[in-house]
Amino acid sequence: MLLVAAVALFAGAAGARPVPAVSPRQPLPMSHKRHIAKDMKCRACHQGVEGEALASFPTLADCMDCHKTPQGHDPAEPEVRAFATSGQDLAWVRLNRLAGHVYFSHAAHVTLASMKCEDCHRDMHTVDRALTEADMHQNMGACVACHRNRHASLDCLACHK
Ligand code: HEC
Ligand code: HEC
Ligand code: HEC
Ligand code: HEC
Ligand code: HEC
């Protein structure tokens, strides 16, 4: 018991986070850069981002709005239609996830506080592959530091519900 506790303490002190043995594999390759260059807005694929807590992910039907017919000449592009005929569900692997006891709302930050996605996430205009790891390692210190600066709530129960 003592040994387990000591190891846990050591891992905690080193700031270790559980690292998945294998990178999560997204169901389809998809370049943010190339879609954004075609003038697509973030909210076209992340429909909850302005009005809801979760930004959400696009469905296969959203992709097929355009990919029913070939788009561009990338060799990966036909994979979208192949996936659609396979009858599988399009389940994106979610990479950014706070602990279950924390409440976060995109609407509060994007709409009420007029923040840009890049204030917290990497600049997706340059990302040319499906993501394999979280781009934020948000901790309480980072949230609270900005809340203090911007005179937003420091109430424990605003973030912990
Ligand atoms: C508004 C139309 C539109 C929607 C919606 C759309 N795409 Fe595309 N997609 C395009 C266009 C246009 C290209 C060609 C871009 C280029 O070659 O520069 C493309 C290219 C691609 C490619 C090949 C290049 C790359 O990005 O790797 C893949 C794969 C792809 N799309 C997947 C998807 C997936 C998955 C979805 C749904 C999440 C989706 N697309 C939604 C228009 C769209
Ligand atoms: C104030 C910082 C902040 C801003 C601004 C922000 N995000 Fe996020 N985003 C987060 C955090 C924190 C998480 C993890 C949330 C959780 O686990 O509840 C997240 C998760 C996500 C996710 C995956 C989970 C979900 O919500 O569906 C997507 C997609 C996403 N953000 C897209 C966006 C887009 C697009 C924008 C801009 C329109 C944006 N975010 C602006 C902090 C931010
Ligand atoms: C054509 C649809 C499409 C557009 C447009 C789009 N995204 Fe995404 N986004 C996705 C898909 C699909 C994923 C999951 C696969 C991946 O990571 O590539 C994703 C993943 C993300 C994630 C990681 C979420 C997580 O925690 O797993 C962030 C952050 C994000 N997008 C931000 C943005 C921002 C910011 C914009 C606008 C500048 C944007 N996206 C535009 C489809 C899109
Ligand atoms: C860069 C600045 C910034 C960061 C980082 C940030 N926030 Fe915020 N947050 C704000 C601002 C500004 C508001 C006030 C929005 C309004 O109501 O006008 C806000 C509002 C909120 C609200 C709504 C509070 C209420 O009054 O009900 C919650 C919940 C919240 N943030 C949680 C978080 C969490 C959790 C994190 C870290 C994962 C975080 N925020 C990171 C700036 C930030
Ligand atoms: C602005 C948002 C915000 C506020 C305000 C806030 N927290 Fe947190 N808290 C977080 C986030 C984000 C985490 C880390 C979640 C994760 O690791 O995924 C966290 C983590 C924690 C943890 C877990 C231990 C740790 O350090 O990871 C405790 C305990 C905690 N908070 C207590 C409090 C108390 C008590 C208050 C009020 C004095 C408070 N929090 C106020 C956002 C907030």
**CB within 6 Å of ligand 2 — which residues?**
42, 46, 49, 54-56, 94, 96-98, 104, 106, 109-110, 115, 117, 119-121, 136, 138
Q: For the purposes of burial, counting CB atoms within 10 Å of the CB of 79, is it exposed (0-12), middle (13-18) or buried (19 or more)?
A: middle
- Ligand 4 contacts CB of residue 147 (under 6 A): yes
Q: Which ligand 1 atom sits nearest the alpha carbon of residue 44?
A: 5
* pLDDT at res. 137: 80
Q: How far apart are CA 30 and CA 5, in angstroms?
A: 43
* pLDDT at res. 24: 72
* pLDDT at res. 152: 97
CA of 4 to the centre of ligand 3 (A): 39
Q: Are 3 and 9 in contact (CB under 8 A)?
A: no
* pLDDT at res. 42: 97
Q: For atom 21 of ligand 1, which residue has the closest CA?
A: 77
Joined tokens for residue 124: 């997706």
| 68 DSSP assignment | T
Joined tokens for residue 18: 């559980």
Per-residue pLDDT of the chain (161 residues; tens, 9 = 90+): 333 433 433 344 344 445 555 567 899 999 999 999 999 999 999 999 999 999 999 999 999 999 999 999 999 999 999 999 998 889 999 999 999 999 999 999 999 999 999 999 999 999 999 998 899 887 899 999 999 999 999 999 999 98
Q: How far apart are CA 98 and CA 145, in angstroms?
A: 17
- Ligand 1 contacts CB of residue 56 (under 6 A): no
